[in-house]
Amino acid sequence: MLILSIGVTSMMVAMTRCLAVVRTARNREVARGLIRRVDIEHPIESVDMAELSESGDFEDVDGYVWMRDILMVDEEERPGLFFVTTRIQWSERGRDAFEEITTYKYAPDAESISKEF
């Protein structure tokens, strides 16, 4: 009886850990999709470069928020080249979790580039 109870307990612990891994993988996949969505819904071409940071949330996805930092790489030599860091943040098992991606984006038609001074 003791062996059976230890075996069942071990299996329950292992199953709980497996389910946690699946839940984490699902949350990260949702976050990757939301990163793509931020790029589509808030293109860098329409960003006011006076504000190099922006953030928001998703109306149809609860618990996820996004933040994006934009840096001009070299305004004189390479106008339109930006260093963009996008982060999706959510709460997972009582702790904050996030997925972050950093990319170079070329947007020669961005408002900050095409404005005449």
H-assigned helices in the chain: 2-41, 111-114
Query: Which residue range(s) make up the domain with 106?
Result: 2-114
**C-alpha dihedral over 46, 48, 53, 54, to 10 degrees?**
-50
Residue 74 carries which side chain, given as an amino acid letter?
D
Residue 14: the pLDDT is: 86
Tell me the per-residue pLDDT of 54-103, one tens digit each, with 9 for 90 and over: 899 999 988 899 999 998 887 788 788 889 999 999 987 788 999 999 99
Residue 47: the pLDDT is: 65
- Looking at the 3D structure of the chain, how many domains does it have? 1
**pLDDT-derived band of residue 117, with 50, 70 and 90 as boundaries?**
very low
pTM exceeding 0.85: no
* 3-state SS assignment for residue 3: helix
> Rg of the Cα trace of the chain?
21
Tell me the per-residue pLDDT of 21-30, one tens digit each, with 9 for 90 and over: 888 899 999 9
Q: List the one residue out of 97, 78, 111, 73 whose CA is nearest residue 25.
A: 97
Could you tell me the two tokens for 108? 């020669």
